[in-house]
Structure 1
Amino acid sequence: MAGGISYHAKDVLFKSLSELYQNQALDVYGLHGLPKIKTLLPNEYPAVRADEKRSDTLFLLEDDSILLLEYESNQRFIENHLKYLDYAYRILHTYYRQQKQIRPIHIVVIYTSEVTSAHEQLHAGDVLISSKAVLLCEYNGDAIFHAIEEKILNNEPLTAEETMKLILVPLMNSRFDRQTMIEKTIELAKEIRDEPTQLHVIAGILTATDKFIDEEYVKKVKEWIKMTKVIRLFEQEKEEAVKEAEKQKAIEIAKNLLDVLPIHEIAKRTGLTVAEVADLAKEMGK
């Protein structure tokens, strides 16, 4: 994970994720018993050893307990739970050293569609580590994607649950491979008109797919995110100006053809609608 996305170094994404998850219930994961999320926490915590480990996502909940949210695509349950035990020790040690507190920790593991069953406990004598499994193999990613796509393309606002589901779509069952689904989902997120929601979703997808996403594609997405709103608006205005210039050119061509071709043929050749050509003919008294 050393080459993954560090949200200490990505302040925009970290802030966006914090806003996305703040005050969210975790019902979309089937986690009905947990308190709402208070805030997203930095997910890197140094140990006495020289290396540095980090969980996928770390939350502070409303009751001041900690939620450790992990994404896995394998069934190495023993190795993974040993990893979570290490994370839990580092979290407990950090809070106790800084605040003299022992905070309760909840461990939730979201398994990608490849995993169809999961062990939720590792017993080692007096030591027991437990987790809650969320199996995304039980979700139809294509159906969820198309339902949300229809709302986005119709400029309808997404509910909190739909926003969370869109983030997880690339990890659900799909007829497409994972990288293709990641790209389809991020490109769909770019169509969201509300800019904060747009960035929330993209940040969430990058976090959820950090272990699986193609690094070159990540670079492209990060470059896109770096574009300021002003630059994006300028690019959009430039595209609109080009389209308007093309439209005016088509109109001039249509005017010149009105004396020699029928209206439907002019529409076919210029890309204008029959109604637009007919209006031009009226204006010119043809």
Structure 2
Amino acid sequence: MDFYGIDTAPIVGVEPTDLPVIDVNDSRMDFVFLLEDDSYLHIEFQTTFKISDLERFKLYDAALYDQKKRRIYTYVVYGADINEAEEFLDHGSIQYRAHAIYMKGYDGDVIFDRLAKKIHNRETLTDEEQLQLIFLPLMHTKKEREELATDVVELAHQIEDENQRFRLIGATVGIGDKFLADSYIKKCWRC
């Protein structure tokens, strides 16, 4: 995750993100990774900023900690439309920090073209390039976000390695579920 400035122990696994004990409208975290040092990396993807979202992430982390008793490091990846977001909540004895990562500085059009060329040439994507492909819909682009997400999924369909193809499509759709049409998401899962 070095590309995004996330400095943690290496990821060793992906964890379930359903937390039914949370009393919020949306009780599903975007991604939780188990790290080599036995802590968790919690990543959320947002195209808007509201304090209520940060408060919801705090509840997610509290429920995850209550369930697993492990350290949690939270990062919120903001789409290109967000320049600034609160990272810290201070509720007296309860304090919470979710580090912000802003995708505005990444040129999604240039990165898409570079990755498309590699995929069309049947070259293997590095781990960092796979992350770039997944995060493309959140980057700065001349296209509409839904159009770019659709293009990314279509490009991922051209990857020869079946495991990599399905993992990248799944992750892209997982991130894009906030701005992809439901009919397109259902179509992706049928492929």
Gaps of 5+ in 2: none
Offset of 1:117 from its aligned partner? Answer: 1.4
Q: Residue 103 of structure 1 aligns with which residue? A: 70
**Greater C-alpha Rg:** 1
Q: Residue 221 of structure 1 aligns with which residue? A: 188
Gaps of 5+ in 1: 1-25, 96-101, 225-286
- Large movers: runs of 4+ above 6 Å: none
Q: Residue 30 of structure 2 aligns with which residue? A: 56
**Where does 1:224-243 land on structure 2 (aligned, <5 Å)?**
224=191
Alpha-carbon contact 1:45-1:94 (below 8 Å) kept: no
Structure 2 residue identity aligned to 1:66: Y
Matched, 1:41 2:41: no
Q: For 1:119-138, what per-residue CA distance to the aligned partner results, in whole angstroms no more than 9, with x for missing partners? A: 21111222210011110011
Structure 2 residue identity aligned to 1:121: F
Matched, 1:192 2:159: yes
Matched, 1:115 2:82: yes
Alpha-carbon contact 1:45-1:52 (below 8 Å) kept: no
Q: For 1:208-235, what per-residue CA distance to the aligned partner results, in whole angstroms no more than 9, with x for missing partners? A: 11222110000111111xxxxxxxxxxx
**Where does 1:14-29 land on structure 2 (aligned, <5 Å)?**
26-29=1-4
Q: Residue 45 of structure 2 aligns with which residue? A: 71
Alpha-carbon contact 1:137-1:172 (below 8 Å) kept: yes
Alpha-carbon contact 2:119-2:159 (below 8 Å) kept: yes
Structure 1 residue identity aligned to 2:3: V
SS in 1 for 2:81: coil
Aligned residues: 191
Distance in 2 (CA, whole Å) between partners of 1:169 and 1:195 is 20
SS in 2 for 1:216: helix
Of residues 57, 63, 66, the one that matches 1:90 is: 63
Deviates more, 1:41-50 or 1:176-185: 41-50
Structure 2 residue identity aligned to 1:83: R
Alpha-carbon contact 2:88-2:96 (below 8 Å) kept: yes
Shift in CA distance, 93/168, structure 1 to aligned 2, threshold 3 Å: same
Offset of 1:51 from its aligned partner? Answer: 7.3
Offset of 1:48 from its aligned partner? Answer: 7.3
Q: For 1:94-120, what per-residue CA distance to the aligned partner results, in whole angstroms no more than 9, with x for missing partners? A: 22xxxxxx2111011000111011221
Q: For 1:234-259, what per-residue CA distance to the aligned partner results, in whole angstroms no more than 9, with x for missing partners? A: xxxxxxxxxxxxxxxxxxxxxxxxxx
Offset of 1:184 from its aligned partner? Answer: 0.6
Structure 2 residue identity aligned to 1:37: I
Alpha-carbon contact 2:22-2:59 (below 8 Å) kept: no
Distance in 2 (CA, whole Å) between partners of 1:47 and 1:200 is 28
Q: Which has the higher contact order (CA 8 A, sep 6+)?
A: 2
**Once superposed, what is the RMSD of the aligned Cα atoms?**
1.6
Distance in 1 (CA, whole Å) between partners of 2:21 and 2:160 is 43
Shift in CA distance, 189/49, structure 1 to aligned 2, threshold 3 Å: closer
Q: Which has the higher helix share?
A: 1
Shift in CA distance, 140/105, structure 1 to aligned 2, threshold 3 Å: same
Q: Which has the higher strand share?
A: 2
Shift in CA distance, 119/198, structure 1 to aligned 2, threshold 3 Å: same
Of residues 81, 84, 100, the one that matches 2:54 is: 81
* TM-score, length of structure 2 as denominator length: 0.95
Q: Residue 232 of structure 1 aligns with which residue? A: none
Offset of 1:192 from its aligned partner? Answer: 1.0
Offset of 1:91 from its aligned partner? Answer: 0.8
Offset of 1:165 from its aligned partner? Answer: 0.2
